[in-house]
Structure 1
Amino acid sequence: MKKLINEVENVEQEMIQGLVKSRPEKLEKLEAGNIVVRKTRKQGKVALVSGGGSGHEPAHGGYVGEGMLDAAVAGPVFTSPTPDQVYEGIKAVATDAGVLCVVKNYTGDVLNFEMAVDMAKDEDIKADYVVVNDDVAVKDSLYTTGRRGVAGTILVHKIAGAKAEEGASLEEVKSVAEKVIANVRTMGMAIQPCTVPAAGKPGFELGEDEMEIGIGIHGEPGTHREKLAKADDIAKHLLDKILADIDYAGKEVVVIVNGMGGTPLMELYIINNFVQDYLKEKGIKVYDTMVGNYMTSIEMAGFSLTLLRLDDELKKLYDAPADTAAIHK
């Protein structure tokens, strides 16, 4: 295993410390754990908390800042943070308006965030949560009941965060988050696996001429394995699955061409070249496109495609200002 790390047991802590030191005027790390919070706390507005296992950077600490998250709680690589850690994150940013947790649909994340929300309520903190399940690849997986939560989660952070900044109530912020969840879909693939530092070896194996279609962000299996195809053919397959799940015809969409951590921008732009032409051919208008690493799987080589169907409300909130390490608007 070749990785630019120090001690395996310090990977997550040093990563979070490095993130905070990249924006010392904006971010701080709590003593209670690997929890990133805004240095200037919100007052009188709903706070947003998210998180999950490390290894998906810039998710989730990279989205802490004005217009998006108030706190991000990082567990060990590919492992949910504990309920106590999530609770510390909630407590640190809670306001009288309440806290909304944004949770990816993985069993450990859902259970632990739900427990933390209950702990917060026991301390008279208004708290609620939503579960993102945008992955169209598989209904159930090794780590989920129902569809997995993947890169579409970033758009929930962005739009719910903008709604919170407007001073909306907890119920209103939750409602718009659920609206994004209902209108966002994602599917991904991989051509090379990743290596969890503590494991020291790849999580699975792919032949030189193989690819895994429908893979999750922890390297879990997808729908099937097949021979490596041309970029356009792979992108078409993923898009067709997404377009079959929601009627996007005649609608405006946000597109995310998301790298899994080890995919060169050259290849992501090649994918985007096809995506733009194919959506135009289908009568779908692209309102905005994000190309880059947004929800990764350490150094996995591969990509995912996300489409968010917009209406006037979602478009306005998507366009609202944001100031985070990973997204500036």
Structure 2
Amino acid sequence: MKKIINDPNQVVQDMVDGLIAANPDSLKQVPNTFVVARADAPVAGKVALVSGGGSGHEPAHAGYIGKGMLDAAVCGEVFTSPTPDQVLEGIKAVDSGNGVLLVIKNYTGDVLNFEMAAELAEAEGIQVEKVIVNDDVAVEDSSFTTGRRGIAGTVFVHKIAGAKADSGAKLEAVKAVANKVVTNVRSMGIALTPCTVPAAGKPSFTLEDHEMEIGMGIHGEPGIDRTSIASADEIATTLTEKVLEDFDFSGEVAVLVNGLGATPEMELYIMNKKLHEILSERGIKIYRTYVGEYMTSLEMAGCSVSLLKLDDELKELLDAESTAPAFRS
């Protein structure tokens, strides 16, 4: 295992310390937790947004903390859901009395632990609502989840629900627009290489040099097919057509071409070129395109494609100001 780390069992704490050191004026760590929050939290008069999950997907989720996005992110151990007590501390740290929305990726551990934390917070008089993101069209069930997995489309939920909350909207309205994004976003990815959890010290699965896994999950969950590696155009076509088959994207969309940790931006832009060609041929207008690493899987090589169908409300919120380190607009 080759990684730039110290103690494999301390990577989350070291990462959080480094993140805070890079953003001392905008981020803070809640004492005795792996919760990262806005430095000015709780923000008076505003619904708070809390997300999180296992570490190893950076910049998700702590990179999306800031004005117009999340108020806090709860960082679990690598590929491991944060515990309910940690999520509860995140909720309490950012609640201003206007309620808290939890944005949860659809993995069994995340759903159970965030829901338990919500119940504990409600017992303390905090109003909590939640949305569950399940944008991955590749598989219906996996080793980590019942139903579809939540992957990079979650970033659109953070951005749009965060902008709605920042506008002064009430909790139910923020939840409603978050659910609108969940309804209108679809994603799918491929992996070219495995990744290694630091504490494990070896890859969690194997892929031969000539192989790729279509529909691989962000924790290394199996996809729908393992094939010989294809060209960028073939990969883009496979992913995009699968996404387009699942939902009517006629009209305008936002596009996210997401790297999984070890894919050069050059290759992501090559993917994006073909994706734009496919959408243009279908008569689908592209309103915004985002290319880069938004939700990774440690050092996995590969990428995912996300499409979000837009209306006027979603376009306005997508364009709203954000100061989050990993999503400035």
- Whether these two folds match at TM > 0.5 is yes
How many Å apart are 1:209 and its aligned residue? 0.6
Where 2:49 maps in the other structure, the secondary structure is strand
The residue that corresponds to 1:261 in the other structure is 261
One-letter amino acid of the counterpart of residue 132, structure 1? V
1:148-227 matches, within 5 Å, as: 148-227=149-228
The residue that corresponds to 1:297 in the other structure is 297
The residue that corresponds to 1:273 in the other structure is 273
Inter-partner Cα distance in structure 1 for 2:58 and 2:72: 15
The residue that corresponds to 2:318 in the other structure is 318
How many Å apart are 1:224 and its aligned residue? 1.0
Give CA deviations for 1:114-170 in whole Å, capped at 9, x if unaligned.
000000000000111110000000000001000000000000000000000011111
Cα RMSD between the aligned structures? 0.6
Inter-partner Cα distance in structure 1 for 2:244 and 2:184: 11
Inter-partner Cα distance in structure 2 for 1:266 and 1:194: 21
The residue that corresponds to 2:29 in the other structure is 29
Q: TM-score, normalised by structure 2?
A: 0.99
Inter-partner Cα distance in structure 1 for 2:95 and 2:249: 37
Where 1:109 maps in the other structure, the secondary structure is helix
The residue that corresponds to 2:102 in the other structure is 101
One-letter amino acid of the counterpart of residue 195, structure 2? C
Inter-partner Cα distance in structure 1 for 2:249 and 2:39: 40
How many Å apart are 1:184 and its aligned residue? 0.2
Give CA deviations for 1:91-119 in whole Å, capped at 9, x if unaligned.
00012110000000000000000000000
The residue that corresponds to 2:114 in the other structure is 113
Alignment coverage as a number of residue pairs: 328
Inter-partner Cα distance in structure 2 for 1:165 and 1:64: 12
The residue that corresponds to 1:75 in the other structure is 76
How many Å apart are 1:32 and its aligned residue? 2.6
Inter-partner Cα distance in structure 2 for 1:62 and 1:19: 8
Gaps of 5+ in 2: none
The residue that corresponds to 1:46 in the other structure is 47
Q: TM-score, normalised by structure 1?
A: 0.99
Deviation above 2 Å: which 4+ runs of structure 1? none
Gaps of 5+ in 1: none
Taking only the aligned residue pairs, the percentage that are identical comes to 62
Where 2:246 maps in the other structure, the secondary structure is coil
How many Å apart are 1:302 and its aligned residue? 0.2
C-alpha contact (below 8 Å) 1:32/1:85 kept by paired residues:
no
Inter-partner Cα distance in structure 2 for 1:137 and 1:198: 28
C-alpha contact (below 8 Å) 1:32/1:88 kept by paired residues:
no
C-alpha contact (below 8 Å) 1:192/1:300 kept by paired residues:
yes
How many Å apart are 1:72 and its aligned residue? 0.2
Inter-partner Cα distance in structure 1 for 2:99 and 2:69: 15
Inter-partner Cα distance in structure 2 for 1:70 and 1:247: 32
Where 2:328 maps in the other structure, the secondary structure is coil
C-alpha contact (below 8 Å) 1:37/1:70 kept by paired residues:
yes
Inter-partner Cα distance in structure 1 for 2:183 and 2:88: 27
How many Å apart are 1:190 and its aligned residue? 0.4
Inter-partner Cα distance in structure 1 for 2:278 and 2:32: 48
